[in-house]
Amino acid sequence: MISVSLVDYLGQIDDGVGVILSLVIQEKVYEIMYWFNPSNDFTIVIDNQFYIDFPKVKDIYEYDRLIDLLFHIDTEVLPERSEIFKEFLES
């Protein structure tokens, strides 16, 4: 089972917004830092323990389920990006 939950907003970082997420895979918890901006650029950094538990994955950008994970985060975990940008980038 995989689940993701929002832990905290880091707020505005450069021209985007950073958030901390909790990813649970098979009862193990990994912290994710996810940054995104209005131009659809993003950066994702995951806890090093993830690479130990999944040694075939050398870089999170090569994780075969990354697109599914990002889609889940963007559509089911976080509020709409426009709302996030309004709160953190338009102040």
Where do the structural domains in the chain lie, given as residue ranges? 2-84
Looking at residue 1, its pLDDT comes to 73
Global confidence as pTM = 0.92
Looking at residue 91, its pLDDT comes to 63
Looking at residue 18, its pLDDT comes to 98
Structure tokens at 79: 């509020």
Does the pLDDT value for residue 2 go beyond 80? yes
Looking at residue 90, its pLDDT comes to 85
CA neighbor of 10 nearest in space, from 74, 82, 89, 71: 89
pLDDT digits (tens, 9 = 90+) for 27-84: 999 999 999 999 999 999 999 999 999 999 999 999 999 999 999 999 999 999 999 9
Handedness of CA 73, 76, 4, 66 (dihedral sign): negative
